[in-house]
Amino acid sequence: MGNCFLNKFIFSLLLTSFFLFSSKELCAFDESKLEKFKLTKKCEYCDLSDSDLSKLNLQGSNLQNAKLENANLEESDLSPKQMEKTTLFTNLENANCRNANLKGADLSLSKLSNSYFKGANLQRALLFKSDLSGGNFAKANFTNANLTDADLTDAKLDGAIFCSTIMPNGETNDKNCK
């Protein structure tokens, strides 16, 4: 009986130690990296999960291979940034945006190929001429989104919600309206 209590006590100590020493992992992002991204609009391979990037001008951002799980990008502008001699297109290629909130975000002409948007909220999002090819948009919510001329080649759309959604061909999809 004494050994059982001792084993449970040691297990509890080990478990507590694990959570205390891995608290960096529990914090989804580094605040200094978030501030740097807001200034430079570059964050390749970085982790901005659970961050609040709502209502920001993020035109021409490079978020290639970034981790943005559960991030809030509601009403943010991720459209291209016009420069004097060139245009910077927002790059979210291979990004992990699982369960991210992009409600009302402008992603026009953005590169979203091979990205992971499973369960993402894309209600009212502007995805005009965006490249979503090869991306996983399973269970994503496209209610009132505009996908005019978007590239959905090989995109996974299983369980995606379409209601008053303007599809790439310009037709309205009301498949999942309730």
Q: What is the pLDDT of residues 131-150, one digit of tens each?
A: 999 999 999 999 999 999 99
Q: Which of 152, 155, 150 is nearest to 170 (CA)?
A: 150
pLDDT the model gives residue 95: 98
Domain 29-178, CATH class in plain words: mainly beta
Beta strand residue intervals within 19-78, DSSP E: none
**HEC secondary structure over 140-154:** CECCCCECCCCECCC
Please provide the average confidence, as pLDDT, over all residues in the chain.
88
b/e for 26-61, b at 16 or more Cβ within 10 A? Answer: eeebeeeebeebeeebebeebbbbbbebbebebbbb
pLDDT in tens, 109-120: 999 999 999 999
Q: How many Å apart are CA 161 and CA 136, to the nearest integer?
A: 13
Look at the pTM and tell me if it is higher than 0.95: no
